[in-house]
Amino acid sequence: MNNMLSTFNIKEKYDVVVIGAGPGGSRTAQLCAQKGLDVLILEKRPEIGAPKRCAEGIEKNQLLNLGFEENEKFIAQTIDRSIVYTISGEEIKQDSDKKKGYILERKLFDKAMASKAAISGAKILVNTEVIDLIKEDNYICGVNIEYNGKTYKIKSDVVVSAEGVEGKRVKEVLNLSPPKSNEIMSGYQYEMENIDLKDPHQLEFFIGATIAPGGYIWIFPKGEKRANVGIGILSNCEKSAKYYLDAWISNKSSLQIGSILEENAGAIPVGGFLKKMTTNGFLAIGDAARQVHPLHGGGLHEATYAAKIAAKVICEAKSENNYSDNFLDKYNKMWWNERGKELSCVNKIKNAFQKMSDEELNLIFHLIKATSINHLNSGNLIEISKLLLKTPKLIKFSKYLL
């Protein structure tokens, strides 16, 4: 045993090693540790949660389901409603109880998630990068890590990759091809202060192929005059996400008067779901496994939901002493059953919308307004098909929903 590991009581072997202390990794670790498993989380950044790469929105029920209260310190703002604007001025408002939510302070939220894991008995190391996986007899059985210029070896029964969108280990182990051009978005965001907000408890979404190709612009309030103002666009656009966001802001005096507190950039996987997220002694969750809602790009709920399934399967694997791909395949099956099928339907709608012009988007949102915008988020292909098929200018997009 060497110095760094012994100083912090790090063992040579764990039941579970989790790569990444994002929400997905911390939740998996917390749930496994609560069941008595020996868990180690390894985080390459020196501070959990920073820098943020997120607009920080989460629905109320999704947050409460993680065991948090309504008055947590990491809640920056309560959200009561949302509004979607298309380029020609179509407006769709949502004001139901179901849509209540929060804008978080991710730097504090991620730490709160990690704290829950630590208090449940998991051990956490930051500033520690997993540089390699250890493989023996066709099983992943640990990791090589780098801390302060030195490398160390830690063994485990299972390695969970919760590495986020870059997911280098997942790509290697599962032999993944890069996502297709319509399966990855580029995001850019300013956290702005002293801006004029229409309503500090309302999310605003701006849709248009010319302002945000394949995606949208958002304003997520973090206070009376403060908000995350950001954009997500298809990653293969000729111009950058920052270019489109700046062009849009340059016409908005309500934003131009403000100051920038923070700039964030990041990629968002949208739709390239993996049929198989496991191998012997290994499974992947969250952004690393491309588990993100393809229309709005939200991944906090998806990562923590997948964590719950992963933890359940890992605990069963421990009691059966079986970490084979065959056994861990339960995780693939459960995820596809509980989330994958629905998200794949949402993805088809996203594929259709990404092909639409400003005029066509305006038309479809006009029609959706008369039914329910929930059909989009829940991937209701029947209802969206009906709208496309009854509108001559939109019929051609129905093929994407098959």
Ligand X SMILES: Cc1cc2nc3c(=O)[nH]c(=O)nc-3n(C[C@H](O)[C@H](O)[C@H](O)COP(=O)(O)OP(=O)(O)OC[C@H]3O[C@@H](n4cnc5c(N)ncnc54)[C@H](O)[C@@H]3O)c2cc1C
Residues that bind ligand X (CB under 6 A): 19-25, 42-45, 53-58, 129-130, 162-164, 187, 189, 230, 264, 266, 268, 286-288, 292, 297-301, 303
- In the bound complex, what is the minimum distance in angstroms from residue 88's beta carbon to ligand X? 26
Task: List C-alpha distances in Å: 324 to 138, 156, 279.
Answer: 10, 13, 7
The full DSSP string for 365-386 is HHHHHHS-THHHHTT-HHHHHH
The full DSSP string for 289-351 is GT-S-TTT---HHHHHHHHHHHHHHHHHHHHHT---HHHHHHHHHHHIIIIIHHHHHHHHHHH
- In the bound complex, what is the minimum distance in angstroms from residue 370's beta carbon to ligand X? 27
- In the bound complex, what is the minimum distance in angstroms from residue 225's beta carbon to ligand X? 20
- In the bound complex, what is the minimum distance in angstroms from residue 383's beta carbon to ligand X? 24
User: Cα separation of 381 and 342, whole Å?
Assistant: 10
Sequence-distant (6+) residues with CB within 8 A of 276 are: 174, 329, 332
User: Are the CB atoms for 202 and 183 separated by under 8 Å?
Assistant: no
Please say which residue, 24 or 294, places its beta carbon nearer to ligand X: 24
Please say which residue, 109 or 365, places its beta carbon nearer to ligand X: 109
Please say which residue, 154 or 394, places its beta carbon nearer to ligand X: 154
- In the bound complex, what is the minimum distance in angstroms from residue 273's beta carbon to ligand X? 14
- In the bound complex, what is the minimum distance in angstroms from residue 345's beta carbon to ligand X? 19
Please say which residue, 24 or 388, places its beta carbon nearer to ligand X: 24
Please say which residue, 285 or 345, places its beta carbon nearer to ligand X: 285
**Single-letter amino acid, residue 127:** N
Task: List C-alpha distances in Å: 201 to 197, 217, 222, 384.
Answer: 9, 17, 9, 29
322 alpha carbon, distance to own chain's centre: 30
- In the bound complex, what is the minimum distance in angstroms from residue 51's beta carbon to ligand X? 10
For residue 244, give the DSSP letter. H
The residue at minimum Cβ distance from ligand X is 299
Please say which residue, 79 or 394, places its beta carbon nearer to ligand X: 79
Tokens coding 49? 């949660």
Please say which residue, 150 or 390, places its beta carbon nearer to ligand X: 150
